[in-house]
A and B are shown apart, each in its own frame.
Chain A
Amino acid sequence: MNKRFGTIVLDTSFRFIIPFIMVYSVYVLIHGEDSPGGGFQAGALFGIVFVLSRLVQGEDCALKISGTKAIMLAGVGTAIYGFVGVLTLIFGGNFLQYGALPLNMHEPERHAMGILGIEIGVTLCVMATIIAIFDALTRREEM
């Protein structure tokens, strides 16, 4: 896990598959309202991208987020979630009452935009949590 797995089949297919997983993750995130999926699943897919990169390419992998950065990112995701909630409070609604958002749209579209906002936060948080768990499991003991 700390050194490359090292077969040309795996390296090449890894380079083919990773962009598709990323695009599919964003699709699951954006399409979350009217098809199966949502923030949690998109975050799991995006986290898997980084876990796979670490598993295939070893310690000096191309897509790398260290454990401390991942925990910071998880905080940022939770902050986005809370920020959308407080934004609705500021514009005179309840906490997470999306209808109060000051967007020039119909009511259901405002709901969709608000839900998209919190889903982005959930995606970041889940992705960073998966990376942090994987990093904690594979970290070398420092003597």
Chain B
Amino acid sequence: MKFVALFFLLGGFFFTTVAAIGVIRFPDFYTRLHASGKGDTLGVAMSIIGLAIYNGFNLISLKLMFIVVFIFLANPIGTHVLSRAAYRSGIKPWVRKGE
């Protein structure tokens, strides 16, 4: 059981790290939002699932699973709202030079 928890925790670590690198390296607002929205949602959710598996089957695990469900609901909504507000206020998407 601990190895499954370790797998999930390492997966969460990997995805949050990739999301952080993406936020730093990508060129404009939309691509950065893409990185942080997807990577953070999956990374945080995997970390919490790993902690729930490590903790075993009890009430605290149930509460952690509720947190996972609400992160999966709320994080994409936040990304959606941010990107729509940015598009409305007139931020142009980035294109490669010379195209």
Which A residues form the contact surface with B (CB < 8 A)?
Answer: 5, 7, 9-10, 13, 16-17, 20
CA separation between A30 and B80, bound complex, in Å? 34
Q: Which of A5, A7, A17 contacts B73 (CB 8 A)?
A: A17
Interface size (B, Cβ < 8 Å)? 7
Q: Is B70 an interface residue (CB 8 A)?
A: yes
For the complex, would chain A's binding face be called helix, strand, loop or mixed by DSSP majority?
helix
CB <8 Å contact, A10 and B80: yes
Q: Could you list 18 examples of A-B contacts with CB < 8 Å?
A: A5-B81, A5-B84, A7-B80, A7-B81, A7-B84, A9-B77, A9-B80, A10-B77, A10-B80, A10-B81, A13-B73, A13-B77, A16-B73, A17-B70, A17-B73, A17-B74, A17-B77, A20-B70
For the complex, would chain B's binding face be called helix, strand, loop or mixed by DSSP majority?
helix
Which residues of B lie under 8 Å from residue A5 when comparing CB positions? Answer: 81, 84
